[in-house]
Structure 1
């Protein structure tokens, strides 16, 4: 043990406090601020929290002015869409090509930052439209991502639809209700209910939650509009490794190892010296060395005692952080003429449809009414505060802001594809592992031959299969009403209608041809089964006759 002479240190502490004896409070503060450089703390606070944000905002604004202007692309996919939601997940994965990396000079001197885009779903007087807003230099990326997954899609550049309603509220013609949706669980690494969980295990049918949302949006009438916006800011590939591992360790009750920072490494000799000094003085070791450590539970033993819900959370977190992701903000606005506002349909029904993606054990969406809801203020200057919120959310929506409102939350490509995708005609898609059954011996006396189906039974079974596996949406999300009103080049769009109609007819004919071929194959298969069964019966009868002994050749017959 090192022997330390604490006489000098003790005298130094006594001299420091003696100089304040007999002084007033003002004189003590004056000494601390100017003699001992205490004013540097206030300079740091002023620079960090006042000057730095204004400086970054200024240089980023200057850099953004030099960037290409944003455009809005309207996407139409035929009703006979055969692609699954996995195709839309691939679409979002490909959009991550917009992620950029910046060095400190470009970030803090030139003002570069990660640009964002947004995917939007709107209903303009009952006409549903899928939209993507992105910088014009990202247009090739977006179009390639769409055409790569949906070859029959049609993409049209359109004007911004937000200009079709007043910008400020209150006004004489329109009113609005709006809010932002945030995650219901504070743990952002827990995913929402994604599309694999919407498949029925036994019938193997996929119940698309988008159907209820689009059905509601298509029910509004003239003078009403529903806007749903999801802003996307690309994240790095390793976006969730560190935070996700921390959440996993919390569930497994594994305490994280404390890492020494730069300052702790610099002052480590001094802290060890103080620890040695206190140990000699009062007999206490502040460094914690030599103390008996509690035995930590091993991960395997912890896993055995986890509940089914905790095991599901572990698997869900690992699945989410293994996928590419965006920082997202979800905004919703229902705007209509004052005499046509229908909040039970435009607000309650839509919020109910969005809650389909909630999993009480994992995560989900909830309207952030307290912070962003336009009808939340209930006391003191109610009308003024509500109108201020309406103008704030309308401004944030028009600018596609990623800063205003609730903090952005990370959503992976699977989550985004679940809440923003084109409805598929084919809903029979085995996405989940099938339920396993125990095998047992067949009952005694069970017939070994399968009786052939009659023509009527085969046709009925085929019809039931087609009705079960093919669902045509009742709402129309592939119409020209929106483009006819907002297309930038209406003449070109109108001229392209004949080619588009021809292509849609070709798609319908191809679908009919596929069904015809499938039907012919099914009929041929049934005929072959019937022929094989008939041949087998004839062969069995012949063998049975050959095996029977002839009664005429028996010796005991006279």
Structure 2
């Protein structure tokens, strides 16, 4: 007796329909929960209170970018992993801080934006590494501009700045900017190049740089380190082949059977000698050696999720293309092309796209990046790329004594001592 499709449908149809509806209901609940969680994250971020600090150092300060590197390591003190309710129902996001440059004509200000709940910790951290620092609370310099006035009272260009390669690979860091043959000025400060380039502008023109830093959970850092170790093993030829799973073995067997049968018929019995792995002495080229060394040095330290933005403001009709090129050009000094570097994010840069409602889409991007900058937006758990403290200290550090730029506002020597009741850093 033939078993028809009608018989199959009659026997199993109700079960399949029941499971199908359960799948649909599950998907509806999953989408509803994800939507709810995003809304809770928006509420959580909106409720964060920020404190704005302006940092000035005296001319005779002895601190180097190494002090800033240590400062970033202490930023890990604000990390708090979420509990079950915070992670799945409250929209909790781990805290972050923003390190910013506000550049106008012949003037630069070093601004740090921190959650008000951690302001005392940050004061202690800064004074711990920079005892002569002048730390003053200030206003948010970005609030002078409203997205409603875009293209009416001012014009702008902006972009997120992203790494060109996998974040296990390092950028060029401050030890590589040391001028070993120089006696009087043994360090070529990359920050001075940024300051000089972005303060040499016309009246009314401004540049903003934002480096947001979020400490990570130890498990995420460990996974990042393992990715680096796998890449080193791959480059060195020591990567272990992953054993195929049961399904993969079954699929390979079924695909191989016809060919093996034909081989037996025409060539005789198979020879099941085990293949012997030959050990080969391998010589690495300089690029491979540099990659392995760079990855190892980077993953040896703590990792921090990092998001970088740059914005250029100009009066209406005065936004110049050379200034746009200058704004991103200052990041090229950190590029090591065989390792890693920076590039403008194609998804956020405001001088794109070039086709299909171009002006409308560009205006939307301008509003979006301006608001994200003003909100210090680091939304989502996967946002940003991982950098270590040495890379962060290269990107953003307070001026060293070798910087003699008139744009840098210095503190008066001995202006004040750190408060006695600051937390230990």
TM-score (norm 2): 0.83
Q: How many residues align?
A: 401
- 2:147 maps to 1:167: yes
Counterpart contact for 1:78–1:504, Cα < 8 Å: no
Check 1:198–1:383 CA distance in 2 against 1; reply closer, same or farther (3 A cut): same
Counterpart contact for 2:97–2:213, Cα < 8 Å: yes
> In structure 2, what is the equivalent of residue 236 of structure 1?
217
> In structure 2, what is the equivalent of residue 188 of structure 1?
167
Cα deviation for residue 385 of structure 1 reads 1.2
Gaps of 5+ in 2: 262-270, 418-425
Which of 321, 326, 340 is equivalent to 2:304? 326
What are the within-5 Å matches in structure 2 for residues 493-504 of structure 1? 501=412, 503=414
Counterpart contact for 2:230–2:239, Cα < 8 Å: no
Counterpart contact for 1:72–1:132, Cα < 8 Å: yes
2:340 aligned counterpart, secondary structure: coil
How far, CA to CA, are the matches of 1:217 and 1:132 in structure 2?
18
The structure whose Rg is larger is: 1
The one of the two structures with greater contact order (alpha-carbon pairs below 8 A, sep at least 6) is 2
2:386 aligned counterpart, secondary structure: strand
> In structure 1, what is the equivalent of residue 385 of structure 2?
409
What are the within-5 Å matches in structure 2 for residues 253-268 of structure 1? 253-256=237-240, 258=242
Counterpart contact for 1:223–1:340, Cα < 8 Å: no
Deviations 1:144-199 (A, max 9, x none): 111111111111111111111232354421000111111111x2100100011112
How far, CA to CA, are the matches of 1:322 and 1:43 in structure 2?
46
> In structure 1, what is the equivalent of residue 34 of structure 2?
53
Higher mean alpha-carbon deviation, 87-96 vs 54-63, is at 54-63
Check 1:33–1:473 CA distance in 2 against 1; reply closer, same or farther (3 A cut): farther
> In structure 2, what is the equivalent of residue 78 of structure 1?
58
Check 1:291–1:336 CA distance in 2 against 1; reply closer, same or farther (3 A cut): farther
> In structure 1, what is the equivalent of residue 264 of structure 2?
none
1:424 aligned counterpart, secondary structure: coil
Which of 113, 117, 126 is equivalent to 2:97? 117
- 2:298 maps to 1:387: no
Check 1:59–1:256 CA distance in 2 against 1; reply closer, same or farther (3 A cut): farther
Deviations 1:366-422 (A, max 9, x none): 112x31111112122121111111111111111111238x95110100000001012
> In structure 2, what is the equivalent of residue 496 of structure 1?
none
1:168 aligned counterpart, secondary structure: helix
Cα deviation for residue 309 of structure 1 reads 0.9
2:90 aligned counterpart, secondary structure: coil
2:330 aligned counterpart, secondary structure: helix
What are the within-5 Å matches in structure 2 for residues 385-464 of structure 1? 385-403=361-379, 407-425=383-401
How far, CA to CA, are the matches of 1:148 and 1:138 in structure 2?
15
After superposition, the CA RMSD in angstroms is 3.6
Which of 231, 234, 245 is equivalent to 2:229? 245
TM-score (norm 1): 0.64
- Higher normalized helix content (fraction of residues): 1
Higher mean alpha-carbon deviation, 379-388 vs 409-418, is at 379-388
How far, CA to CA, are the matches of 2:196 and 2:236 in structure 1?
43
Deviations 1:321-356 (A, max 9, x none): 111121111111001211443442x32223222100
Cα deviation for residue 313 of structure 1 reads 0.7
How far, CA to CA, are the matches of 2:236 and 2:204 in structure 1?
54
How far, CA to CA, are the matches of 1:347 and 1:178 in structure 2?
8
Check 1:59–1:505 CA distance in 2 against 1; reply closer, same or farther (3 A cut): closer
Counterpart contact for 2:168–2:228, Cα < 8 Å: yes
Check 1:306–1:45 CA distance in 2 against 1; reply closer, same or farther (3 A cut): farther
Deviations 1:7-53 (A, max 9, x none): xxxx9xx95xx4269x9xxx89x9498447234444444444x2232
Check 1:283–1:173 CA distance in 2 against 1; reply closer, same or farther (3 A cut): closer
Which of 334, 339, 345 is equivalent to 1:357? 334
